[in-house]
Amino acid sequence: MAEQRMKTVEVAFTKMQAQGNDFVVFDCSHLDAQGALTDADLSTIAKSVSHRHYGVGCDQLLVLRAPSSPDIFDFRMDVFNADGSKAEQCANGLRCVAKYFSDAHPLHTNISTSSRLIDIETAAGHVKATVSLTALSLWNSAKVQANLGKPKSISDNEVELEVTAADGEKRKFHATLVSFGNPHAVIFVDSDLAALDVATWGPLLERHSMFPDRTNVEFVSVSGTSAVKARVWERGAGETLSCGSGACAVAVASVTRSKVNQRKVSVSLPGGDLSLEWSADGDVLVEGPATTVYEGTIMVQVPLRV
């Protein structure tokens, strides 16, 4: 079989982060079909760009594309994990690209208001994000709220998941399954969350036979009547400092299992805190800062198409 020919292209990017959950943003919304990068291209690029030593370094690659219905959406966002797999949803990523779009298109902003509403098309559906136009004290940051809508599903009861570590240790976990278009297994723990071996149990639970497409895993401890702490093992990325959709799943599970007594929940993650609200109409809102770190260009290799 002949070796596939590759070509090198230069791509502009923006590095962004939300509570340490970091992203490389490609804006492909202006490219026509002839010049567009395919999903296969972007999957390959994600694996190289995300590398912490040989690439830019990120948890996910976020790609802005032209929306299917420009009269409804400002743009489409697609998400590629560090392992090249595609994700349906990414709430922290949504908040970052909303800030990116607001910064890139300032003429569309109504300066008489203190915020701007942006409509984003995703694989999981229509998401509305609100970008505050009041600068935060953090450098080049904005407060952004994303409305992920209603959870797609919530398990009626906790599901028992048994996994076996490489050394033979077996452990049973009990998870509340929540979906926002992407799957989450939320596990409440009574032990010390900081001491939990997430690197061992996270990937085993991610690939449990119950989840043919794998799952995100959230380990949670309750810290107050309206506050919890969480660590997240992200499907396709490993443990991350923060996960927006994971925090949404944690808030929903905390309310559903009566771990908190309010529908407004503070979720503390290693990278910082997020404010969550499971509103009376059923929508879940997540709010926190989104930051532009720097901009640059990178040379990437993609298959040569003739």
End-to-end CA distance of the chain: 17
Task: Tell me which amino acid residue 27 is.
Answer: D
CA distance 171 to 156: 22
Beta-carbon contacts of residue 6 (< 8 Å; ≥ 6 apart)? 301, 302, 303, 304
CA angle 287, 292, 298 (to 5 degrees): 135
Catalytic residues: 90, 243
Give backbone dihedrals phi and psi of 184, rounded to 5 degrees, phi first: -140, 140
Nearest to 96 by CA among 25, 11, 13: 25
Nearest to 127 by CA among 187, 62, 175, 81: 62
CA distance 95 to 280: 22
